[in-house]
Amino acid sequence: MIAALTHVARLGRAAFVFAREGVFGVVDPALIPPAGQVPVRLARLIERRGAKSGARLSRALTRLGPAYLKLGQFLATRPDVVGVAMARDLESLQDRLPPFSQDEAEQVIAISLERPVRDLFVSLSPPVAAASIAQVHRGEIELDGVRKQVAVKVLRPNVSSRFRRDLSDFFYVAEKAELYSAEARRLRLVEVINTMSRSVAMEMDLRLEAAAASEMAENTKDDPDFRVPTVDWDRTSHNVLTMEWIDGIPLNDHARLKEANVDTVELGRKVIQSFLRHALRDGFFHADMHPGNLFLDRDGKLVAVDFGIMGRLLPKERRFLAEILLGFITRNYRRVAEVHFEAGYVPPHHSVENFAQAIRAIGEPIHNRLAEEISMAKLLTLLLEVTGLFDMRTRPELILLQKTMVVVEGVARSFDPKLDIWKVADPVVREWIQRNLGPIGKVEGALAGAGELGHTLSSLPTIVSRAVTVLNQLEVMTKDGLVLAPETIAAIGRTERGRTRGRTVALWVIAATFIGVLIALSRMI
């Protein structure tokens, strides 16, 4: 009861901030149940002057602090939850907060790395960027008499406790929503917050970000157009991450790119194809590829930074993705629909033909059109409407992939307004399919399957032995009874006192089912 009141009090403060910033003014009244329409009207009475201008939700989330700021950024990747218009608003949310002091930063570094700052760095600048979880300093180190520039990322002091408190409020809201709303259950709001919680937990351990950068560096070491900064593991810990400093041109600085005579059409191609290679070939992709996280170095390579949000795709999901993309490219909408059913994305009670018709409604308007003629917002809206119409459960990893694709397409289109994303994607997708679904891929798949079968067969004697042991124990129990020590009986009595007879019957049903499974297993063996 007390915990619920605490949640309500903190959420009440958040609601007040939302009302003051005019957030309720952008809510569609048709989406609000009748019981909630009066409170929304009352909330609009306390809007501050000027609240009707600009990005209202972004302002409110910034006022509420780091956890809400991160929630906004995360929901920008979930248009299926907040709607396309609001997701667009949240995309512009700037993760910028006032920096903490230089003394605090140096104290965190010294404690985390167990050495004085002067022994670790030749110099350490004031913060050059500050976000909700950490801030970045420019440092200089000396290795074998050679000085190198590094980026030093330092976690905010006590940030984890603040996040834990606010995340508990988010869970409270999601659980109540799923309790009373079927749509909330379809969108799996609790899983949304769970995913965000895991993402934030990983972002708050900078060793995991360093590991993500290291893994991506290994995956892309032979890529002609992409590279990752080198991690300095000797100066990296839970609270500190030290990496190579990148002197390249940020992709959001179009003036400098123009001064450097960069071929922007080629740059757009690099952005699209690099992302697709990582997603399809590696199953591991940078899920926050906005222009501020991408640089162009002196060698003309893309360099990514900030590996706090990463996406993964299992081999099966990569195959489905490749076949879906190829189906769109070749306009084989029937195959696109079949892949969705094979993957289990669409419940089997729906019609493949009807779903193929819906997919055609998405694909046809974008074929043979230039990027400047395609409304990605309308396309995404239609796609989300289709997922709801065919009862597709939310899959967080696919939503993250889908949203990243939209962001990457937007970045590429800013360099080449006439870009055709399908033509640019075609060679990467076909290369992956030929390599993995062609003759070589089928042979490798067969060998892998044979290896798994061999491992299972080698484990059969152990499985049989364990099954026989359990059956013998059950036989002894049924013949001689179960003998328990007096103190065990007393403990069980204390524990079971007051429980209902129905609970006891249920336990015996479970036990009988377990015995039946074991007997069936023994007959099968």
Interhelix angle for 84-91 vs 66-75, to 10°? Answer: 130
Q: Single out the catalytic residue among 89, 169, 288, 416.
A: 288
Residue 288 among the catalytic residues: yes
- Residue 240 dihedral angles phi and psi, to the nearest 5°: -135, 135
Q: Which two tokens stand for residue 30?
A: 């048709």
DSSP secondary structure letter of residue 32: S
Report the sign of the C-alpha dihedral through residues 261, 244, 98, 49, in that order.
positive
Find residue 33's DSSP bridge partners.
none
Give the 3-state secondary structure of residue 196.
helix
Q: For residue 218, how far is the Cα from the chain centroid? A: 21
Give CB contacts under 8 A, 24+ apart, made by 426-434. 426/329, 427/273, 428/273, 428/276, 428/277, 428/280, 429/276, 429/280, 429/322, 429/325, 429/326, 429/329, 430/326, 432/280, 432/281, 432/318, 432/322, 433/322, 433/323, 433/326
Q: What's the chain's Rg over C-alpha atoms?
A: 28
What φ, ψ does residue 491 adopt, rounded to 5°? -65, -40
Backbone angles phi, psi at 299, to 5 degrees: -90, 5
Of 357, 498, 467, 396, the C-alpha closest to 192 is 396
* CA atoms of 459 and 453, how far apart (whole Å): 10
Burial group, residue 226, by CB count within 10 angstroms (0-12, 13-18, 19+): buried
Q: Tell the residue number behind the tokens 């609270």, with chain if given.
A: 239
β-sheet with 240-244: strand ranges across: 123-130, 134-143, 146-155, 240-244
Catalytic residues: 288
